[in-house]
Amino acid sequence: MKIQNKLINSIFQKILLIASFSVMFIGIGFANTNTFTVTNNSDADGICSPQNCSLRQAINSANNNTGPDVINFNIPGSQRHEILLQTVLPAITDSVTINGTTQPGYDIQNGPSVGINGQAIVNANGCGGEAENGVKRDYPGLDIVAHAPDEVVGNDASGTQIKAIRVENFCVGAQVSAGIAKPGGTSVSSDPIEDVVITESLFINCIANSAVDLQNTLRAVLTKNKFIDNSDNLEFTNSAFAVAEESVALGGQDSLEFLAGTTDSIARNNLFIVLPTTQEVTDFANQYDIPELVGGTLRNEFLIRSGIFIQQGASNNIAEYNTVKRSPTFGINLAGAGDDNIIRNNLVTDSLIGISSSDSNTIIEGNIVRDNLNAGIAIAPRRVSLGFFCPSATVPPDLDEDGNILNCGYTINNFLFRSSTGSKVIGNTIYQNMGPGIVVGGTAVSSNGMKIATTTNNTLSKNIIFDNLGLAIDLTNDSDFVFGTLFLGLGNAWFATIAPDPDGRTPNDYLDLDLGANNLQNFPVLTEIEYTKKENGEETLKIKGTLNSEAHKTYRIDFYSSENSGESEMHIGFIEVTTNSNGDADDFELEKEIEMQILPLSHHYIAATATEVGPDGELLSTSELSDSIAVLGE
């Protein structure tokens, strides 16, 4: 009997459990998920009703209704609809999908057909200054925070999606804040937020650290967005597994930044034109209905810097398949960042320097780097000058009328130095740059003349380098050849000092005892090429040479053929040699059958590099390119 009772009780409990699960399921599936449809472009406050609903009312209602909701649009009229906000919208504190593609007449080619405009807020309140209570003025457009400050039980903005919304004329004053969509809230200490998606949206004239500022996000995805004339476009801070792809940015002081603590994130298939032409601006403005920019130039060029900027300890990120054009500093810049970032298969053109790194273990691979005003690719130490550095908005700086920092709360007058070691620059195509193809160098020197940071163990291999004004590869100890950054808080200044042709060929020295960029690795000396044509028509080349470097070490000699001397158009093979006690690897020899695939008939010149091989077979510092010798004599 006892057993039977127990069984009955158990069955009863199971039924209760199932019943309660059903209630929960119904609760999530039906009772709590609402669709709020915006029916007008007013800025009315309150809550949303089916007949009369502003975007502000829809956000209020979605926030109040715990659990994911949907905000759709059905505003009468086929023209583009603009919601002129008088005050900032309520922060999004609960998961919501704001879907601009639902507005009748939406066409992805024409961009968002609904949008918010913050001009009246900026007109009334100014931007970037300091309010009376000492709190920075923040007027973001769409502010996505983890949850409400009063922590409504169950509220969580994770999973929020913004689709096809035009976001225009907003301003965020505080340093850490975003322009417009800022998941994670106004400071980096806010709670993390997951799975935020921002797609097909258009950000215009948003003055802030960034038009889209992702902080403390996991797995955020930004796809097919457009950015024009913002002071910055897109930033990741303390984020992981984020993706920014298929977006276009015209202007922006840094088009895309991976900042402090950002890891395992990807920027892919984006087009960043840092200094667009008038025609490019006009085309974009016509397509997206920005009449004030037609025939003109961007308004926010004053702080323009790089296309992709990875800094402040961001590690293990990837930038791939992006096109970066016309940066007045660096197309892609890894500066004082974390390590182990990968820059691959990008096209970088018409910038001051195409790709630069002052970090460790950067992989720069398969990029096309051409038509840059100085070097194509530069690996160098970095001197970071910290004049007034305001690292946190919790210490708001005093500003003058022009936004220049008068007092930062605290200041650091110091220089930071950073070496650049262990990078792999492999398989890039580098041509028509106005300086060296690849430059490795710069010994950073302290104010009292001490050499502090040099750049070593960077491997340069299988790069296609031709038609540059400087050397194919230049190792230099020119102490002027350092990259500097001067942080002035909101008044960021930026400088990059680099000589277009740092010091030319660095002579070999006996036993290679000299130090500096890549330890000023000695290059091989090619001595002879033997060309043989056998009776069966088979053609072979024997390339002979010598290397003097450190004693009892192993070096890899890479051979390249080219149409012109001083270039490396095609990698044709390599051998490893070991030096004796005099540092000599005499009379090494590479024998190669000539095949069209490996040596086109026009390739009359052979040159080589030497790369130190470490004890475990790892490739370390690479030399400059040797003098070329002609295959068949001159």
Kindly list the residues in this chain that would bind Ca ion in the complex (CB under 5 A).
Answer: 62, 65, 69, 94, 474-476, 503, 506, 509, 512, 514, 519-520, 522
Task: Select 39 or 522, whichever has its Cβ closest to Ca ion.
Answer: 522
Query: What CA–CA distance (Å, rounded) separates 60 from 68?
Result: 13
CB of 522 to Ca ion, least distance (A): 4
126 by Cβ neighbours in 10 Å (0-12 / 13-18 / 19+) ranks as: middle
Task: Select 265 or 579, whichever has its Cβ closest to Ca ion.
Answer: 579
CB of 252 to Ca ion, least distance (A): 33
Indicate the residue whose CB is closest to Ca ion: 506
Query: What CA–CA distance (Å, rounded) separates 609 from 622?
Result: 7
For residue 71 the two structure tokens come to 């905000």
> In DSSP terms, which residues pair with 475 in a beta bridge?
440
CB of 281 to Ca ion, least distance (A): 39
Task: Select 85 or 475, whichever has its Cβ closest to Ca ion.
Answer: 475
Task: Select 326 or 556, whichever has its Cβ closest to Ca ion.
Answer: 556
CB of 369 to Ca ion, least distance (A): 19
Task: Select 62 or 332, whichever has its Cβ closest to Ca ion.
Answer: 62
Query: What CA–CA distance (Å, rounded) separates 627 from 620?
Result: 21
Task: Select 28 or 493, whichever has its Cβ closest to Ca ion.
Answer: 28
CB of 48 to Ca ion, least distance (A): 12
Task: Select 281 or 517, whichever has its Cβ closest to Ca ion.
Answer: 517
CB of 224 to Ca ion, least distance (A): 25
User: Do residues 580 and 495 make contact, with C-beta atoms less than 8 angstroms apart?
Assistant: no
Task: Select 457 or 476, whichever has its Cβ closest to Ca ion.
Answer: 476
User: Do residues 172 and 178 make contact, with C-beta atoms less than 8 angstroms apart?
Assistant: yes
Query: What CA–CA distance (Å, rounded) separates 189 from 520?
Result: 45
H or E element, residue 287:
helix 278-287
For residue 294 the two structure tokens come to 């037609």
CB of 482 to Ca ion, least distance (A): 15
For residue 169 the two structure tokens come to 């004329």
**Residue 589: which residues within 8 A CB-CB, separation 6 or more?**
542, 543, 544, 545, 575
Task: Select 72 or 476, whichever has its Cβ closest to Ca ion.
Answer: 476
Q: Which of 387, 367, 382, 276 lies closest to 328 in space, CA to CA?
A: 276
CB of 426 to Ca ion, least distance (A): 21
Helices (H), 423-547: none
Neighbours of 390 (CB within 10 A): 21
Neighbours of 625 (CB within 10 A): 28
Identify how many contiguous H helices and E strands the chain contains and give both numbers: 4, 54
CB of 147 to Ca ion, least distance (A): 11
